[in-house]
Chains A and B, each alone.
Chain A
Amino acid sequence: MTTSRFDPQTPRRHRLGRVWSALFLGAILIAILALGALLYDIIDGAFGLVAIENRVDPASLAIEGVPLEDLSKEQLTAILAQHISAGLLRRLEHDQPFEERDRASVYALVMERVVEPKIVKTWSLTASLTQRAAIEAEVAEKYPQAQLEFRAWINPTFIQMPQSSKPEIAGVRTAILGSLWTIALTLIVAFPVGVGAAIYLEEYASDTALNRVIQTNINNLAGVPSIIYGMLGLAIFVRGLEPFTSGTLLGVADPTTANGRTVLSAGLTLALLILPLIIINAQEAIKAVPASLREASYGLGATRWQTIWYHVLPNALPGILTGTILAISRAIGETAPLVVVGASAFVALDPSGPFSKFTTLPIQIYQWTTRPQDQYRNLAAAASLMLLVLLLSLNAAAILLRNRYSKK
């Protein structure tokens, strides 16, 4: 009774408070739900039933009871020579001599040219689990030749196989190698330059107009859309510095490319893209090193660089590394700038150096996603799953690193 006399509004206000607190929590739950839907969607596409028709039954290619997948490279080459035309064989030999090919690539050729498995229809994981009977009936009716089997689109062959125009045997090997080459170059360029710039800004730069411009500029660059960096890379690295980025200047150009659309151009473009992130993170890490450490070092007569090298950097290193890992995981997932810089639509041979044509994992996902056929959607899902696992492990590493050293 007293409550109502003093403040008749109180129960209403509390009720309102409870409703809104539920709404606030609801916003987070929606975000979590979205994450769940995304993961579900990818897993749903990466596994499921497929109906396969083979042109040649692989069991008939077995030699003396040894199944096809366990045959040696020589036996596989022989099978290949037996089943395909001489002209095609010569062309394959011309692309890369059989002596230089490894067993996996010959096996890929046998699968691609001889067995020719063809996936005629695919189903999502949910449909495969809940409507198995209906799917079996449909296959029996529409594709009497086909076998129904459960396929994990993400499997060891998927990782080992190069890209192929046939979704059944297409893999992400060239894309993964392309990503690794690109990221390695990005890191080689961006890490020293980024940390160097951070040291300059934190330890050397006095408060002059020029240094303020540099600092403001770095903050602004961090907000420039990534596609703009792609256009910068296209005009400067691919086109302007073509003799250098294609390798002709050094006389090591890859004969199949001989233009600037190479791993090197991609790596340099991504380096510029993540440079502001590395600088800003490294600056934070250097700022966090206590001034007393520097003063003690100066007090003992150390020079400025000795102080930085022996005292500031070792203390800031965990922070710098955490920031770098996060920047690298951003670079690994970048797609738009690489499309603009000219990632090749189709690369079946492994990149052999900085001057090779390139494709990367996200580019591969993009290309597969935009194809209309269902099989490519499944491939895109499998590749997305790989990319997510890779990025999550990198981020986890960064968080562990941060927690481990922040306890000190």
Chain B
Amino acid sequence: MATTKATSFRALRGLATDTATSLRKRPRPGETAIQSFLFVCGAISIFTTVGIIYVLGHESMLFFASPEVSLVEFFTSARWQPAILEFGILPLFNATLMTSGIALLVALPLGLSAAIYLSEYATPRVRGVLKPILEVLAGIPTVVYGYFALSFMTPLLRSIFGFNTVEIYNTASAGLVMGILILPLVTSMSEDALNAVPDSLREAAYALGATRLETAVKVVAPAALSGITAAFIIAASRAVGETMIVAVAAGAGPNFTFNPFQAAETMTGHIVRISGGDLSYDSIDYNSIFAIGLMLFFMTLALNLISARVVRRFREVYE
């Protein structure tokens, strides 16, 4: 009796192990290989970032280590003339601020107004017509905008303000056209933010007797403020990094001026002009553009991070 019991028990246990073995996760080398490959694809983005920081940092170090350059001069001198070894970034930085500032003056009010119209006023049919037009505007390459600035906006400005006041290359023209370029970005991001505000808020405002304008401006827009702010900051970041319009229309030569009708080269414009010429590696010119690039990278990165933080921190969540 005892033996039979022991045998059947053993048999039972054997059966259990068999089932466990067959159900256990089998090694699948193919699946693992695929997963590893996909992970590498994802990791390439990390390599890209590391590459950007390494390249910009390394070449900038070489630039700042050279005896002709001092950090203090770099940030305080108002002269950038590589030919006589003067490296003060202020004129380039100032021109970048001017073009971006003008662009934002155009794009922020217009973009936000357009977004309010599309989200709060337009019927679906009108919106269906207007929205694609803005998308077309966003899809035009920046070099074409550069051509537009030089061959349309500049002559227009010159005929309005006088040929002696407005130079052929000037930051005003580049800034205005850049404003048109980033307008669709501001509009679409702000519109998304406005659309995310629940209808119950609008209905409550209407029930209290608010007009459509009051609802839009005093209820919906404040509720979407975090998204709108984020849109503004992203637009600023885009303007700072924009290259071709300023390279074509803003002027080729660093110039420390606050007059928007004078030519002044921006940071991006300078990088393009220097690298488009005959550039020998390890020259101080070559290294200097990486130093400018590093500043540009930090400026845009800071703006992008602030924008992401604004969205996370100040978003009003309605449930």
Contacts and interface: CB of A to CB of B under 8 A. Distances in A.
B166 interface: no
Interface string B129-162: 0101111110111111111101110000000000
A221 B248 contact: no
Interface string B104-147: 00000111011011100100000000101111110111111111
A365 B48 contact: no
Interface in A379-403: 380-381, 384, 387-388, 391-392, 395, 399
A52 interface: no
B242 A225 contact: yes
B82 interface: no
A32 B117 CA distance: 14
B137 A45 contact: no
A224 interface: yes
Given A229-B52, A231-B289, 20 more contacts: A13-B211, A24-B113, A25-B121, A31-B187, A38-B152, A42-B147, A193-B41, A197-B45, A200-B35, A213-B46, A217-B45, A223-B301, A224-B241, A225-B296, A228-B52, A231-B55, A232-B48, A276-B45, A336-B272, A339-B276
A340 B272 contact: yes
A37 interface: yes
Interface string A321-363: 0000000010011111001101001000000000000000010
B234 interface: yes
A38 to B, nearest CB: 5
B30 A305 contact: yes
Contacts of B304: 220, 223
A314 interface: no
A405 interface: no
19 contacts: A13-B211, A21-B121, A26-B113, A28-B117, A31-B133, A205-B42, A220-B49, A221-B48, A231-B275, A234-B275, A235-B290, A236-B51, A279-B45, A305-B34, A333-B140, A336-B142, A339-B247, A365-B143, A369-B146
Nearest to B212: A17
B114 A24 contact: yes
A207 B34 CA distance: 20
A298 interface: no
Given A305-B30, A366-B247, A335 B45 contact: no
Interface in B266-319: 268, 271-272, 275-276, 281, 289-290, 293, 296-297, 300-301, 304-305, 308
A179 to B, nearest CB: 11
For the complex of A and B, the 10 pairs showing the least CB-CB separation, nearest first, are A225-B241, A333-B141, A196-B41, A27-B113, A24-B117, A336-B243, A200-B38, A17-B213, A197-B41, A223-B304
Contacts of A27: 109-111, 113-114, 117
Chain B at the A interface: SS class: helix
Q: How large is the interface on B (under 10, 10 to 19, 20 to 34, 35 or more residues)?
A: 35 or more
A228 B46 contact: no
Contacts of A26: 113
B247 A342 contact: no
A336 B269 CA distance: 9
Nearest to B142: A335
A125 B194 CA distance: 43
A305 B28 CA distance: 11
A340 B31 CA distance: 41
A2 interface: no
Contacts of B240: 225
A166 interface: no
Contacts of A192: 41
A111 to B, nearest CB: 26
B234 A223 contact: yes
Given A41-B151, A232-B48, A24 B137 contact: no
B141 A335 contact: yes
A370 B39 CA distance: 44
B48 to A, nearest CB: 5
B183 interface: yes
B139 A392 contact: yes
Given A24-B121, A329-B139, A342-B275, A225 B300 contact: yes
B117 A272 contact: no
A391 B237 contact: no
Nearest to B179: A34
